[in-house]
Amino acid sequence: MKKSILRLLAILVCGTGTLTAISEKKMNNAVINMSAEETSVSVSESTTTENFYDVPLDMDTQLYIRNLCKQHGVKESLVYAVISVESDFDKNSVNSNKTCWGLMQINSCNFEEYGITEPLDVKQNVNAGISILGKLLTKYNETEKALIAYNCGVTGANKLFDEGVCSTAYSRKVLTRESVIELEYN
């Protein structure tokens, strides 16, 4: 059987004796049919596979993020790196000043603009964060500059750029984390 099936998350037993395997990295919809009388096993696999990142977010959340990333032109691995650095995947994370909230640590100054009514709601939070990242990537046309602006705000980032700063500890940390996430994904 394919290598992607080796790391099973769950085996679900359906009422008719059909087993469906869900892979940690790929959802292959592999179906194994067998009965007590049979000595052979037949395996069928759907032709569509869905790859998921090795991050502590459920498949529904990852699919939601994937769709937003496509919509805003943001690399999915970059979003997971930002989430990792910002909140360590803690959807209930709030900074000490109570100004930045959720997975992507959305600053309260952005709530109105992005329609956030529940800042710890995962969908509202990642929708705003990915939208912000997409706008910053378009504005600066450089991932590192966009990350600096995501972290410092546009005004703070522009001051740094005027001083000749093109890289910060934050931007380097996110880019390093993105590299690790991409390696684990492939």
Q: Where are the domains of the chain?
A: 3-51, 59-185
- Residue 14, pLDDT > 80, answer no
Fold adopted by 59-185: Lysozyme (1.10.530)
Query: Confidence band (pLDDT; 50, 70, 90) for 48?
Result: low
Q: What percent of the chain has pLDDT over 70?
A: 74
Tally Cβ neighbours within 10 Å of residue 36: 5
- Residue 186: predicted pLDDT: 82
- Residue 103: predicted pLDDT: 98
CA nearest to 51, candidates 22, 71, 75: 22
- Residue 50: predicted pLDDT: 78
Phi, psi of 6 (to 5 degrees): -60, -35
Q: How far is CA 151 from CA 132, 171, 174, in A?
A: 11, 8, 10
Residue 14 is given by DSSP the state: P
DSSP 134-186: HHHHHHHSSHHHHHHHHHHHHHHHHHHHHTT----HHHHHHHHHHHHHHHHH-
Q: How far apart, in whole angstroms, are the C-alpha atoms of residue 116 and residue 132?
A: 13
- Residue 108, pLDDT > 90, answer yes
- Residue 27: predicted pLDDT: 39
Query: Does residue 25 contact residue 8 with C-beta atoms inside 8 Å?
Result: no
Query: Could you tell me the two tokens for 41?
Result: 């096993």
Per DSSP (E only), the strands in the chain are: 8-13, 18-23, 26-27, 30-33, 42-44, 50-51, 100-101, 106-107
Query: Does residue 103 contact residue 86 with C-beta atoms inside 8 Å?
Result: yes
Average pLDDT over residues 4-15: 29
Predicted structure pTM score: 0.75
- Residue 23: predicted pLDDT: 38
- Residue 113: predicted pLDDT: 97
Average model confidence (pLDDT) across the chain = 82
Tally Cβ neighbours within 10 Å of residue 185: 15
